[in-house]
Amino acid sequence: MKSFPCIVSAHALVLGLVFASSASAQVEITSSSFSGISGSQFSFTPFDPSLGTLNSVNLELTGEIDATVLPTPLITGLGIPSPYPISIGASLDFTALSQSEFGGFSTGFAPPFEFSQASISDGTGTPVVVPIPFFDSITFDSLSDFSGFTFSSDGALEDASLSDFVAGPFSSFLPPTEIVVANVGDFGSALPVAPLYADVNGAMLITYNYTPAPVNTPPSNVPDTSETVSLLGGVFALMAVLRRRFVRYGPHPLPGSRARRPLPLAIEHPFEVNARAFRPY
């Protein structure tokens, strides 16, 4: 049973650490959608620096690129079109419209094509729409700030920093605006394929991980616990001294009253018997 307080203390320490760690890190999630031809714009909600210190940013990009391409015609000797397979590649690039004033991020150093999709040309040379789904996840943190780049989930090299996601001096008037560009092209087709244009429909989920700013609490009127304990200790000590004085000397006389003289021994101890009082004459 002697180890029980130690076990309770250990459990309390563990719970304290868990709650402290959960309170030390917070998450803010926002999302934006983009739609239109390549070169369209969209805005996103930047991180509010008044919340605390931004530790990392995670981007999740999902959607579809509809690439319209023009395959080379393939006509046989009989004048009949011959279908053949084509493969179209695509990539997404983001550029901040006005980064210094309104914030925003720009990705770069990506390979020519991050996503690809196979399709079929009917051989006539008519345009073909190839839907290319995409998913990408990118994390920016102190390590990427130090190195100047990071890798996305599909292996692309990206070069944004944490400060690109923090609200700028004019973000309250105009949120950060991004220009999304979809690059499409031939990705190993049997015959050359020329890209015409691309429509982009997607969404971006942004997760901000940050350490909250310290909260400045106003001073309380409640007295300090240590001062209260010291005051109570002094009161109890004074009560103990008065109690010993009362037991020894009796109640203290009121001001202006005559002090009580101690009674004679015979009166103070009425039950004591004086042996000389019963001595025969």
Taking only the tens place, the pLDDT of each residue in 68-81 is 999 999 998 888 99
Same-domain status, 105 and 240: no
Alpha-helical runs (H) found in 76-124 = 99-102
Domain count, the chain: 2
13 belongs to a structural domain? no
Same-domain status, 118 and 255: no
Domain boundary among the residues 212, 234, 260 is at 212
The reported pLDDT for the residue numbered 229 is 55
6 belongs to a structural domain? no
The reported pLDDT for the residue numbered 8 is 38
Same-domain status, 192 and 263: no
Q: Is 53 exposed, middle or buried (0-12, 13-18, 19+ CB in 10 A)?
A: exposed
- Is the pLDDT score of 20 beyond 60? no
For residue 265, CA distances in Å to 55, 114, 247, 274 come to 88, 113, 18, 11
Label residue 281 by pLDDT band (50, 70, 90). very low
Mean pLDDT of 10-21: 41
Same-domain status, 42 and 83: yes
50 belongs to a structural domain? yes
Mean pLDDT of 12-27: 52
Helix, strand or coil, per DSSP, at residue 93: strand
Same-domain status, 185 and 263: no
- The residues that bridge with 33 in the sheet, in sequence order, are 203
46 belongs to a structural domain? yes
> Of residues 193 and 25, which shows the higher confidence score?
193
Label residue 114 by pLDDT band (50, 70, 90). confident
Same-domain status, 253 and 198: no
218 belongs to a structural domain? no
Label residue 220 by pLDDT band (50, 70, 90). low
The reported pLDDT for the residue numbered 87 is 96
Q: Quote the radius of gyration of the chain (alpha carbons, Å).
A: 43
The reported pLDDT for the residue numbered 255 is 53
14 belongs to a structural domain? no
Domain boundary among the residues 212, 241, 264 is at 212
Residue range 55-72, pLDDT digits in tens: 999 999 999 999 999 999
Same-domain status, 204 and 250: no
Q: State pTM to two decimals.
A: 0.64
The upper half-sphere exposure of residue 137, i.e. CA atoms within 13 Å in the direction of its Cβ, equals 3
The reported pLDDT for the residue numbered 139 is 93
Same-domain status, 57 and 118: yes
- Is the pLDDT score of 132 beyond 90? yes
| Residue type (1 letter), 183 | N
Count of other CB atoms within 10 angstroms of residue 252: 10
Distance of CA 134 to the CA centre of its chain: 27
The reported pLDDT for the residue numbered 233 is 64
Per-residue DSSP letters for 170-227? Answer: TTTTS--EEEEEEEEEESS-SS-EEEEEEEEEEEEEEEEEEEEPPP-PPPPSSPPHHH
258 belongs to a structural domain? yes
- DSSP label at 162? G
Same-domain status, 136 and 167: yes
Count of other CB atoms within 10 angstroms of residue 101: 15
Share the mean pLDDT of the chain. Answer: 76
What is the domain extent for residue 270?
225-278
Mean pLDDT of 164-181: 80
Domain boundary among the residues 172, 188, 212 is at 212
- Is the pLDDT score of 222 beyond 80? no
For residue 55, CA distances in Å to 59, 76, 97, 152, 162 come to 14, 61, 24, 18, 8
CA distance 224 to 235: 17
Same-domain status, 62 and 87: yes
Same-domain status, 163 and 235: no
Label residue 250 by pLDDT band (50, 70, 90). low
- Counts for the chain of helices (H) and strands (E), in that order: 5, 10
Mean pLDDT of 31-41: 88
219 belongs to a structural domain? no
Same-domain status, 131 and 231: no
